[in-house]
Amino acid sequence: MKTIQLPDEIYQQAAKLAESDHVSVDRLVAALVSEGVGDWSKVQARATRGSVDRLKRVLSKVADTVPEPPDWI
């Protein structure tokens, strides 16, 4: 098992969540990291299917206008 360091604010948020779920902070953080790693793997897999040329073709169909609030906020 490895040890990681978290900023105090994030640790406190995790501790509150863990307490409300009646689990340890270690278990909560492990579950969240596991979920994030899985999500990141999916994003990477999807990225390999894309291409810059396809992105440019899609973006060329979007009107070149200034966004209205709150779109640019």
Rounded to whole angstroms, how far apart are CA atoms 66 and 36?
34
Domain locations along the chain: 8-71
Q: How confident is the model at residue 57 (pLDDT cuts 50, 70, 90)?
A: very high
Rounded to whole angstroms, how far apart are CA atoms 6 and 8?
6
- Kindly report, residue by residue over 34-45, the tens digit of the pLDDT: 999 999 999 999
pLDDT at 71: 72
Q: How confident is the model at residue 63 (pLDDT cuts 50, 70, 90)?
A: confident
Please tell me whether the overall predicted TM-score, pTM, comes out greater than 0.85 for this model: no
